[in-house]
Amino acid sequence: MESVLPEHIPRHVAIIMDGNGRWATQRHLPRGEGHRQGTENLRRIIRAATEFGIQILTLYAFSTENWGRPRREVRLLMRIVEMVIDRELDELDGEGVQIRHIGELDGIAPALQRKVKTACERTKNNTRLIVNVAFNYGGRDEIVHAVRRIVADGVPAEAVTEELISSYLYTSGLPDPDLIIRTSGEMRISNFLIWQGSYSEYYATETYWPDFDRASLLEAMHDYSRRKRRFGKTPEQAAAEPIVDEDDDEEA
């Protein structure tokens, strides 16, 4: 296991936290136990992200498709989010973490909506690490909402550009993810950051989310650091002007 930091640190890392259910089933435990273990893991990954110099961490916590799970599991997942906010907010705030929510608050119980808003409001001036929590998030849903607002704002057709669309997404103002990690071995996007991830590097690991630790994150970052990001250019062009971290001043 490599313990030193890789050469290129991704500025924005996004994680599809998958495999809680299978982690539990493997241990003959109820799926909810996997979700609980998954939240225990959040703290150490957030801490590791800060330590490694990652600036933005986006975590997929609940998708628009997850509403289709059995009602009991949905209720439990909602309760767990509430519990995590109650339990972790002081410490995250103290560590300089800015919490943001991406997704739709509509459709979530009013008490939980208030908690999410409070967490974002309280930490909005923190600058050490931005943690985007994708909760009731779907990439297609995000684009539908963006288009509706663009139309409602009366934007003329010729003013619609890629930059404009980006600015109407939940991630407005943030750079696209450099690295998207998915745990549990699945090789799909599951409606996560489908616009923003158009040129992200993907990394999949068999490890279930509750077992994904500091060393696992470091391993993913080393893998990322060895990638050649070409953004459509030839290998020769890319070698002539390294473009590993697109906006990294040190690279220029």
Under the phi-then-psi rule, with left for phi > 0, alpha for psi from -120 to 50, and beta for the rest, what region is 103?
Answer: left
Member of 9, 14, 16, 174 binding ligand IPE (CB under 6 A): 16
Tokens of 210: 């509750």
Contact between 55 and ligand IPE (CB under 6 A)? no
Site residues for Mg ion, 16-35, by CB under 5 A, read: 18
Contact between 188 and ligand IPE (CB under 6 A)? yes
Handedness of CA 31, 33, 35, 41 (dihedral sign): negative
Handedness of CA 125, 129, 135, 137 (dihedral sign): positive
d(CA 47, CA 97): 10
Tokens of 156: 């003329």
All residues at 6 or more sequence positions from 69 whose CB lies less than 8 Å from its CB, including other chains: 77
Per-residue x/- track, 190-229, ligand IPE (CB under 6 A): x---------------------------------------
Member of 9, 13, 14, 17 binding ligand IPE (CB under 6 A): 17
Site residues for ligand IPE, 121-160, by CB under 6 A, read: none
d(CA 213, CA 145): 35
224 binding partner (options ligand IPE, Mg ion, none; Cβ < 5 to 8 Å by kind): none
All residues at 6 or more sequence positions from 159 whose CB lies less than 8 Å from its CB, including other chains: none
**Catalytic-role residue among 20, 41, 66, 106:** 66
Which of 16, 130 has the CB closer to ligand IPE?
16
Supply the minimum distance, in Å, between the C-beta of residue 57 and Mg ion.
20
What Å distances lie between residue 59 and 103, 135, 161, 237, 252, CA to CA? 12, 9, 27, 33, 29
Active site (annotated) includes residue 66: yes
247 binding partner (options ligand IPE, Mg ion, none; Cβ < 5 to 8 Å by kind): none
What is the SS3 assignment for 192? coil
- CA angle 147-151-153, nearest 5°? 115
Whether the Cβ atoms of residue 74 and residue 31 lie closer than 8 Å to each other:
no
16 binding partner (options Mg ion, ligand IPE, none; Cβ < 5 to 8 Å by kind): ligand IPE
Which of 16, 221 has the CB closer to ligand IPE?
16
72 binding partner (options ligand IPE, Mg ion, none; Cβ < 5 to 8 Å by kind): none
Active site (annotated) includes residue 18: yes
Q: Applying CB under 6 A, which residues contact ligand IPE?
A: 16-22, 60-63, 65-66, 77, 184, 186, 188, 190
Q: Applying CB under 5 A, which residues contact Mg ion?
A: 18
Active site residue ranges = 18, 66
